[in-house]
Amino acid sequence: MSIIKLLSKKNERILFTTPSHFQKAPFCNNLDCFYKWDYSEIDGFDNLANPKNSILVAQGKVSDILGTKQTFFITQGATTAILAAMKAIININDKVLVARNCHKSVFNGLVLTMANTSWFMPEINEDWGIYTVIDPNKLEATLKLDNYKVFIMTSPTYEGINSDIRKIAAICKKYGVYLLIDEAHGSLNAFSDKLCDSAIKQGADISVNSLHKTAGALNQCAILNISPNIQNIDTDTFQKSVNLIHTTSPSYPLLSNIEACISYLNSKEGKNEIDGLINEISKFQKELQRFGVELYEEENHDPLKILVRKNGVSGFDLSETMFDKFNIEDELNNSISCLYLCGIGTSKQKLEKLKNALKKVPINQSFEFQKADFQPFPLLKLQPFETFNKKYIYINKQDSLLKISNKMILPYPPGIGLLYPGEAIQKWHLDYLNNDVEIIV
């Protein structure tokens, strides 16, 4: 089916996925704007690469709201914001410590910047099958051992787990390490007292928000935030870095959407929508417990990421039944749990449908959850940048143990690598590989 036909069909699905807006937003009534507002940098329309008037003013307004030194508008997603941030702070062979649950864009940034990479393992919760926080003590022990320049991590995680950025930022500061937080999933944090503080407010040097995930903006709307407290690097370097990677034809409809989105989130109406949604979800949680549906409810968890498991049914089966019988699509699932993503655009009615469906999913009394199995610590044989354009051969999977992979194993979503090029294949990876495996020679 053509893309046009596909999109023209009525969509009956109830999506708890990104983008959260569910095909409309309170701050964007003008859906014609894609054509009406599609200009290039004609006279008086400013220039994203060197903003002097309207873009400068809009970015400045957002920067004031978020308390940043500078915020850059990006119309190519958090992916580009992450690459630009990394390019600004990492030089060839700089030592960079990276949390293993980072999105693949961070791996791509390690290739592009030719960084000297080390991986850091986040904590795990085997009962839910998810990565959780970065342990500040373990981080400090690692930073003590080497001369790292940058630490990159994700908070909140895909499943909504917030790390203690305040503690982590203090440790990074003590060791002179830049802290880059991928806050793609935490764009609402700055706008509600019921959520944790934004990464910048907690002391991160740089953060990235993907506004289409939960903030109601259109796909590809993102921002790159620089802290007022960042040391030894000026914002011109970030502008130069954005200009290196960003298209020279940024979409004005998307730029205007970023401006409108942040201004809405910062309005009374926007804040009420976020708080109302959080209240609605908390009522919903209590009610579901009576039906054997358990919600992940740790203190550091973002309530807008509804993570559930139901006694008597695996996460995969729960996801399938919710889709087949109730037309409800989750963002992510594993053998134990399913993730239903909420944000600007999630209505009370939609939550009601989710709640009723979760109650009705049949269970098998004898089914028991198995603890989830996590990837082993990666065995890095080549740096990410050394693997690019390397010669490779195909060998049989059975002979591939401890050989150097040329391929990623990357379930999407969440886009977190289980094996990256340049890493030795371990026994754990074999189940995920095809019979013919690409090996670097």
Ligand X SMILES: Cc1ncc(COP(=O)(O)O)c(C=O)c1O
288 scored as a contact of ligand X (CB under 6 A): no
Dihedral sign, CA of 131, 137, 143, 149?
Answer: positive
**Minimum distance from CB of 99 to ligand X (Å)?**
10
Count residues binding ligand X (CB under 6 A). 14
Element of type H or E holding 222: strand 222-226
Among positions 183-212, residues that touch ligand X (CB under 6 A) are 184-185, 210
**Minimum distance from CB of 251 to ligand X (Å)?**
14
Nearest-angstrom CA–CA distance, 272 and 418: 39
By beta-carbon proximity to ligand X, the closer residue of 181 and 328 is 181
Which residue from 21, 87, 100, 103 is in contact with ligand X, where contact means CB under 6 A?
A: 103
**Minimum distance from CB of 218 to ligand X (Å)?**
11
By beta-carbon proximity to ligand X, the closer residue of 85 and 288 is 85
Q: Which residues pair with 329 in a beta bridge?
A: 15
Tokens of 313: 């049914």
Residues in contact with ligand X, shown as a per-residue x/- string from 72 to 91 under the rule CB under 6 A: -----xxx------------
175 and 148 Cβ atoms separated by less than 8 Å: yes
415 scored as a contact of ligand X (CB under 6 A): yes
Nearest-angstrom CA–CA distance, 118 and 160: 24
DSSP state of 375: P
Which residue from 28, 62, 222, 354 is in contact with ligand X, where contact means CB under 6 A?
A: 222
**Minimum distance from CB of 219 to ligand X (Å)?**
7
Instruction: Calculate the dihedral angle through the C-alpha atoms of 374, 380, 384, 386, rounding to the nearest 10 degrees.
Output: -160
**Minimum distance from CB of 13 to ligand X (Å)?**
19
Nearest-angstrom CA–CA distance, 75 and 48: 10
Nearest-angstrom CA–CA distance, 292 and 309: 8
By beta-carbon proximity to ligand X, the closer residue of 100 and 103 is 103
439 scored as a contact of ligand X (CB under 6 A): no
Burial of 362 (0-12, 13-18, 19+ CB in 10 A): exposed
Among positions 127-166, residues that touch ligand X (CB under 6 A) are 154, 158
By beta-carbon proximity to ligand X, the closer residue of 222 and 440 is 222
160 and 301 Cβ atoms separated by less than 8 Å: yes
Q: What count of residues does the chain have?
A: 441
330 scored as a contact of ligand X (CB under 6 A): no
By beta-carbon proximity to ligand X, the closer residue of 79 and 321 is 79
**Minimum distance from CB of 28 to ligand X (Å)?**
18
Tell me which residue of 60, 113, 123 sits closest to 91, measured CA to CA: 113
By beta-carbon proximity to ligand X, the closer residue of 258 and 440 is 258
Nearest-angstrom CA–CA distance, 146 and 341: 38
- Binding residues for ligand X, rule: CB under 6 A, are 77-79, 103, 105, 154, 158, 182, 184-185, 210, 222, 414-415
